[in-house]
Every structure is written in structure tokens, then in C-alpha cells.
Amino acid sequence: MTLPTLLVLRAMLAEPAREMYGLEICKAADLLSGTIHPVLARLERFGWLESRWEDIEPAEEGRPRRRYYRLSPEGAERARAALNRVRIPVPAAEHAPQSPLIPRLTGGA
Amino acid sequence: MTWHATWARIRILASALDRDGAIARAVVLASDRDLNLDLTSAVQVAGTLASALDLDRAHVLDQARALAGDLVRDLTSALDSDHHRHRDRAVNRAAVTARDLARALDLALGGVLDRHDVPDRAAGGDLDLTRDLASALASYHALLCALANYPTLDRDRNLAADFTQYRNLAHGLACCLDRHSAGSVTADAKGGRSMPRMVRVAVRLLPRSWQTRYREEYRAELAQLCPSERYEYARRVLAGAWQLRRALAGTECPPDRVRVER
């Protein structure tokens, strides 16, 4: 598991029930925009994340609909376990994570 | 096919100034299963070419507008000149400018037509611009031929009518380009800017069944970014395209297989 994956999980665990779109997750995880989709795709593929299209009419809103992501119940559990395993403090709900001490990680995407 | 052969082909295409073709070819090559380890390189080359093209596109209309202004001045100068020598010099300048302008228009037209592969982008503004550019391009090719033949024409013939016509053409084009420039600023402000080339290349690198989803997802994110952020976003999306493709293809291990370096 890579550092970006851990940062994404940690950011989403801050508010596990909340749906976030790509740019929002980037901001919460302190990652650069445009870098997050491989991580999200992989987490979604393994069932850790669920996603859906925003329920709006693009013509009325004047913008394209967003893709929203949320941790699945199983994904939240496994994310907590993964973060604990590498000794990253799991954030308390409703609070953004603060400068964690993250060991160097290798493997996975 | 080796990477060297691939690179040579891309270079030939690029040197032939067919950068759109080079990018398309790089994408096809990047999708070639036999290439394996060369895929990342192909993506990088496609990114470099796409980046150059995107930058060109941002300036090409400005360049065409500036050249049209130059051409108006050159033709006015030719028209106003009483001496053959001065007129010849002005005509030569106009011929060079017209050639550059024809090329800029060609690029601009190619860019506009290319944008139409994105659904819902075939907006009226683009179609108007396409029509105007195509018409201007045809006129300028005619102008170019006329200017090229100028030295062989009868010097005593009154060229005022021809030059007046050419100058009016150049002036009309300059106005047309100004009008479309103002239109594109308005479109940007509404977040309706077309998807950058690099992002489209990145989408085309994904498995076909996923392309629609990511095209829409990227478009939604681009709409939220300011113009200065879009280039970097597009560059990162393209850089991560192969990684995303692997993630979608499911060739990776589950995310909770964690190894910690000691």
C-alpha cells in the first residue's frame, strides 16, 4: 500500500459516512489534484469504496455532475485495520488529520 | 516492436508536423500488449507531444490574429506605395505573413475540429469559428497564390483593386478572430472550456468500457479548476493514466497487503 493510498483512507475515515468527490478527497488528503484516480479505482475495485454519480441535471446546474466516493462499511473497517497496522493514527470522526508520523511504505499501488 | 522503432515512428510523425497523428499513434502503441515495458514511455511521449500541442493551441488564435493585423499593414503599405521597389518589398512581406497566417489558421481549424470529439462540445461558437476559419483559410490560400504570382504580373496593371480586396479580407479575418477570442473568454468564465488534449489522451489509454465514466469525471473536476491549474491537473492525469489502467484491469494485489520498510 502506497502513501497516497494511506492518506486517502485516513482522509475518508475522518468522516466515513460522508461522500466526497475527487478534488475534495485530494484536498483532504493533501494530495495534488489529478493524482488520486488510480488510488480510488483500486480501492473501489476491492470493495473498500463505493461511488455514484451526483444526482443533478448538468444543464440546470451549469456544470458536469461529479462522481462521489464513500467508504463502504467493510472498507472503513479494513482501512482502520490497515492504518493501525502501519501505526498511523486513525482520525477521530469530523476532524481532519494532523501531520502523522508515517513510516516508509512499499508495495501495491 | 521495440521501443526504439516506436520512438522512431513517433519522431517521424512529429517531424512531419502531424502532431495530432503522432499522439494518436502513441496512444495506439501504448495500447499494444506486445510493448509491455514500453507502455510507460509511450505515455510519456504522448504527454510531451500533447503538452506541446495544448500550449500551441492556447496561442495559435492569438498568433493568427497578430498575423492578420500584420497582413493588413503590409497590404496597406503595398497599396499606398508609389514606387515599384517599395511595393515589391511590401508584397514580399505580405507573402511571408500570409504563409504564416495560413499555417496558423490551419492549426487553429484543426484544433477546433479536434474538440468536437468530446460530446456536448459541438457548441454553436465552435461551429461558427470552424466555418469562419475554413472560409478564411480558403481565402488566404487564394491570396497566397496571388501574392506568389505577383512578380510575374504586368507591373503597369493597376493592382489597387486586388490589394484593396486582399486588405479587406485580412481586415475581416482580424475582426473575426477578435470576435471569437472574446467568445472563448466568456466560455472559460462559465467553466465550459474544452477538455485539455492531455486528459483526452489519458482517457483513451483506459479500457474502452471505462472511458465514458472517466471522461465525465475529469470534465467535472476540470470545470472546478481555474485555467492556471488545468494544465498541471491534465499533466498529472496523463502521468497516472497507465496506473489507473492497471487498477481498472485488476492486475494488482488487494490494498491491505502492506509492507513496511525497516
Question: Beta partners for A53?
Answer: A67
Distance (Å) from the alpha carbon of B226 to chain A's nearest alpha carbon: 12
Asked if B234's CB is within 8 angstroms of A34's CB, the reply is yes
State chain B's mean pLDDT as an integer: 62
Question: Beta partners for A21?
Answer: A68
Q: Within an 8 Å CB–CB cutoff, is residue A3 touching chain B?
A: no
Give A45-79 as a DSSP string.
HTTSEEEEE--S-HHHHTSPPPEEEEE-HHHHHHH
pLDDT surpasses 90 at A70: yes
B181-222 pLDDT tens trace:
544 433 343 334 456 777 888 888 888 889 889 989 998 999
Q: By three-state DSSP, how is residue B254 classified?
A: coil
B260 within some domain: no
Which domains are assigned to chain A?
3-85 (1.10.10.10)
Distance (Å) from the alpha carbon of B245 to chain A's nearest alpha carbon: 8
The pLDDT score that the predictor gives to residue B192 is 40
Measure the CA dihedral A90/A98/B239/A82, to 10°: -10
Task: Determine the residue type at A100.
Answer: P
- The count of domains in chain B is 1
Partner residue facing B190 (CB), from A32, A35, A62: A62
Q: Within an 8 Å CB–CB cutoff, is residue A101 touching chain B?
A: no
B254 within some domain: no
Instruction: State which residues form the domain around B145.
Output: 3-249
B61 within some domain: yes
Whether B244 contacts A84, CB under 8 Å: no
Residues of A in contact with B223 (CB under 8 A): 63-64
Bigger pLDDT: B195 or B154?
B195
Distance (Å) from the alpha carbon of B177 to chain A's nearest alpha carbon: 26
Asked if B216's CB is within 8 angstroms of A1's CB, the reply is no
pLDDT surpasses 50 at B258: no
Bigger pLDDT: B98 or B17?
B98
The phi and psi torsions of B116 (rounded to 5 degrees) equal -75, 0
Asked if A21's CB is within 8 angstroms of B221's CB, the reply is yes
Q: Within an 8 Å CB–CB cutoff, is residue A35 touching chain B?
A: yes
Q: Which of A27, A42, A104 to mutate to test the interface with B (most CBs of B within 10 A)?
A: A42
B6-28 pLDDT tens trace:
555 545 444 443 445 545 555 55
Partner residue facing A35 (CB), from B223, B240, B260: B240
Q: By three-state DSSP, how is residue A21 classified?
A: strand
Grid coordinates standing for B135? 472560409
Please choose, from the candidates B118, B239, B231, B213, the residue with its C-alpha nearest in 3D space to the C-alpha of residue A69. Answer: B213
Distance (Å) from the alpha carbon of A79 to chain B's nearest alpha carbon: 8
Question: Beta partners for A106?
Answer: B259
pLDDT surpasses 60 at B37: no
B256 within some domain: no
B258 within some domain: no
Distance (Å) from the alpha carbon of B208 to chain A's nearest alpha carbon: 15
Asked if A65's CB is within 8 angstroms of B232's CB, the reply is no
Asked if A103's CB is within 8 angstroms of B261's CB, the reply is yes
Residues of B in contact with A102 (CB under 8 A): none
Task: Find the mean pLDDT for residues A89-104.
Answer: 48
Distance separating alpha carbons of residues A42 and A48, to the nearest angstrom = 9
B82 within some domain: yes
Asked if B221's CB is within 8 angstroms of A23's CB, the reply is yes
What share of chain B in percent tops pLDDT 90?
A: 3
Asked if B233's CB is within 8 angstroms of A33's CB, the reply is yes
Contacts of A3 by beta carbon, 8 Å cutoff, 6+ apart: A102, A105
State chain A's mean pLDDT as an integer: 82
Whether B82 contacts B230, CB under 8 Å: no
Lowest mean pLDDT, pick from B33-42, B47-56, B77-86, B134-143: B33-42
Whether B60 contacts B107, CB under 8 Å: yes
Neighbours of B52 (CB within 10 A): 15
Residues of B in contact with A85 (CB under 8 A): 256, 258
Distance separating alpha carbons of residues A21 and B199, to the nearest angstrom = 18
Q: Within an 8 Å CB–CB cutoff, is residue A16 touching chain B?
A: no
Whether A88 contacts A10, CB under 8 Å: yes
Q: Within an 8 Å CB–CB cutoff, is residue A25 touching chain B?
A: no
The pLDDT score that the predictor gives to residue B250 is 72
B176-186 pLDDT tens trace:
666 555 444 33
The pLDDT score that the predictor gives to residue A41 is 95
Q: Would strands A49-53 and A67-71 be described as parallel, antiparallel, or unpaired? A: antiparallel
Assign B43 a pLDDT band (cuts: 50, 70, 90): low
Bigger pLDDT: B189 or B226?
B226
Task: Find the mean pLDDT for residues B116-137.
Answer: 49
Whether A31 contacts A80, CB under 8 Å: no
Distance separating alpha carbons of residues A83 and A97, to the nearest angstrom = 12
The pLDDT score that the predictor gives to residue B41 is 52
B255 within some domain: no
In the numeric block, the cell 477521530 is attached to A92
Bigger pLDDT: B60 or A68?
A68
Between A and B, how many residue pairs show a Cβ–Cβ distance under 8 A? 107
Lowest mean pLDDT, pick from A19-28, A75-84, B123-132, B214-223: B123-132
In the numeric block, the cell 499593414 is attached to B73
Report pTM: 0.48
Distance separating alpha carbons of residues A105 and A88, to the nearest angstrom = 12
Assign B171 a pLDDT band (cuts: 50, 70, 90): low
First to last CA, chain B: 40
